[in-house]
Amino acid sequence: MNWPDLSMGGYGFYVWGSYLFALLAIVWELVTLSYRRKSREQEKAAPEVLRGTTNETTS
Amino acid sequence: MNLYKYASPTNFYPLAGKIIPWFATPAAILFGVGLFVGFFIAPPDFQQGDAYRIMFIHVPAAWLGMFLYILMAIYAGIGWAFNARLASMMASSISITGAMFTFLSLVTGAFWGKPTWGTWWVWDARMTSTLILLFLYIGFISLQSSIDDPRRADRAGAVLALVGVINVPIIYFSVQWWNTLHQGATIRILQKPTIHGSMLWAMLIMLAACWLYSVAVVLIRVRCIIVEREQNANRFVEATV
């Protein structure tokens, strides 16, 4: 096992910057998804909404 | 067991809820393992030093961006051809995650390009075709959002998605067809990989993590879409009765 040099041999800005962007993108997706779920209150509404629908696979 | 019944959004909704943890949990574990192997086990590259470690997020993001587009087009095509509502909903759900990964591949590619090529961006065949892929995703999402009737939105989106598929082989083969700054494929199915085993394992583990993450997020989003569309349909019925 090699302990990585945090400065990444002088490339730290680029390496950590790319991973920070990846983290931000994933967090953004999860937060917007969570917001979408909550805003629709679907956890409570879902059974009610789906109860009135048919099992049709086509519109 | 009748799998066909799960083509109905109403039946698929609870099934998706049950299987999400089976993808989300391994995704979180594999992200941790992949980063550990990539930063603690894999050695520095003899030419690029530690800058190459961007590869562990850049390559999975680029592959997922392309693969999710093909998957989105297949679902959109099935939804259009067979009037299958769930398939169209899946296409809508995949589009946002696919766009996110494509955007991520462009940004991490720029972060990798600056120290190795000396520039953040060039109008190179690989990068330009990947940018077009991002525009196709954005076009699909915008087109679907701009049409109120979901069935019409699905049909319009399907046409765009299917036409745009032609861009995926262009991205993949661009490094062979044109002289580009971007390096050629390091990993090929029928040939021995040209990178160190630990680097390859780190990349494959991160790829698996990104793939499992995508499935989990797409399933969560498709559950939202199912409820939103059924809510809208019920409101429409109530308003017209």
Mean pLDDT lowest among A15-19, B140-144, B170-174 = B170-174
Residue B1 in any domain: the answer is no
How many beta-carbon pairs below 8 A join chains A and B?
A: 120
Residue B10 lies in a domain: no
Interchain pair A18, B111: CB under 8 A:
yes
Q: Max alpha carbon distance in chain A (Å)?
A: 61
Which residues span the domain enclosing B94?
Answer: 18-42+51-240
User: Is A52 in contact with B234 (Cβ distance < 8 A)?
Assistant: yes
Closest to B220 (Cα-Cα) out of B120, B97, B103, B137: B97
Q: Which of A7, A13, A15 is the mutation pick for testing B, counting most B CBs within 10 A?
A: A15
Nearest beta carbon to residue A15 from set B53, B85, B223: B53
First to last CA, chain A: 56
Put simply, the answer to whether B213 touches A26 (Cβ < 8 Å) is yes
Q: Is B119 on the interface with A (CB under 8 A)?
A: no
Point out the least confidently predicted range of B5-19, B27-41, B213-227: B5-19
Residues of B in contact with A2 (CB under 8 A): 40-41, 43
Record the tokens describing residue B152, joined without a space.
């019409």
Best to test chain A binding among B52, B56, B227 (most A CBs inside 10 Å): B227
Number of structural domains (chain B) is 1
Mean pLDDT check: name the lowest of A46-55, B5-14, B52-61, B225-234.
A46-55
Residue pair B76/B156 in contact by the 8 Å Cβ criterion: no
Q: Which string of DSSP letters, residue by residue, matches B72-107?
A: HHHHHHHHHHH-BHHHHHHHHHHHHHHHHHHHHHHH
| Gap between the Cα atoms of B84 and A57, Å rounded | 6
Cα separation, B77 vs B88, whole angstroms: 8
What does the pLDDT look like over B90-128, one tens digit per residue? 999 999 999 999 999 999 999 999 998 899 999 989 999
**Residue B6, in any domain of the structure:** no
Chain A residues with CB under 8 Å of B221 CB are 33, 36
CA distance A51 to chain B (A): 9
Is B46 an interface residue toward A (CB < 8 Å)? no
Model confidence at B20, in pLDDT bands (50, 70, 90)?
Answer: very high
Distance from CA of B7 to the nearest CA of A (A): 6
Taking the C-alpha atoms of residue B235 and residue B18, their distance in angstroms, rounded to an integer, is: 28
Specify if B13 maps to a domain: no
Rounded to the nearest angstrom, the minimum Cα separation between B167 and chain A is 24
Q: Is the per-residue pLDDT at B72 higher than 60?
A: yes
In a domain, B89, yes or no: yes
Answer whether A18 sits within 8 Å of B107, measured CB to CB: yes
CB contact at 8 A, B53 and B38: yes
Q: How confident is the model at residue A50 (pLDDT cuts 50, 70, 90)?
A: low
Q: Is the pTM of this model over 0.80?
A: yes
Nearest chain B residue to A25, by CA: B100
Q: Give ipTM to 2 decimals.
A: 0.86
